[in-house]
Amino acid sequence: MKSILVYLAAIYLLDKAFLRPSFIENKIKEVFLSYVGGAEEIEVDVDLAPFPKDLLGRIERTEIEMRGFQTETLPIVITPKKVMAGRIKRLKFYGEDIKYKSFSLKSVSLNLSDLEFNLPRLIFSRKMQFVGAGKGEVSLVLTEEAIKGAVKGKGDIGFENDRLKIRVAVGYPPLAVPIEITGKLVGRGDKIYFTQPSGQVLSVPIPSELLQMAIDRFNPIIDISSLLPFTIPISIREITIKGNELQVICDIDLSELGKERKGER
């Protein structure tokens, strides 16, 4: 009986020594800051599962907020591996005022469920490695200026209500004709396309052939995957234009990623 009590006491002390919320918060903060080099603000908030589930690395909720940083990538990368895994039931990342590669992102919000991490590596190496995940969503907010930098082709773009407006010259000098085209934005996979174009020149509708020639220079308008500082597959679900900003909401499904190499170590 005494040995059992000693064993339970040792487990309890291990729990309090290594799996405190502050310990997990600091490890996650260190990982993120190591990738961005520094941020104007960073906050990490963790809720562990009740004892003894927390001994198995069970985390109910993790929230990360960062503002004012520059990065080439952020460490929410899934590396499937067969290990003793801890689990974060819900993870939320929110980043604001991000300089990513050559783009400026107003904000990025990422929500993931059932995120698994390498528990022995966290405890003994004090490093966070994600090895599996479930489903979630990511939301980006881009300003008009940021979109101009991301658009392929040459031309001036802007927003008009819920439509995109493009000013472009069609044809070749000296016969190039300046035209203005408006159209809808549609998501297909991880890319945004310019569709349903319409336009006029001197109150005369532009022939569909010329319109198609113009938009072919731009489509796909934006590759959202190239704007995300996360290495994750996405599928665009919703596109909204508000004022001079574009919000894109994408679905994420990482559940299969954790299985396809499950036998690897």
CA distance to 147, 158, 238, 264, per residue, from 220 (Å): 12, 16, 16, 37
Please state the length of the chain. 265
Q: What rounded mean pLDDT belongs to the chain? A: 81
Q: What count of other Cβ atoms lies within 10 Å of the Cβ of residue 98?
A: 23
- Interval 132-172: pLDDT, tens: 889 999 999 988 888 877 775 556 788 888 888 887 776 67
Shortest CA distance to 79 belongs to which of 132, 125, 115?
A: 132
Taking residues 71-82, what's their average pLDDT? Answer: 80
Q: Taking 80 as the threshold, does the pLDDT of residue 1 lie above it?
A: no
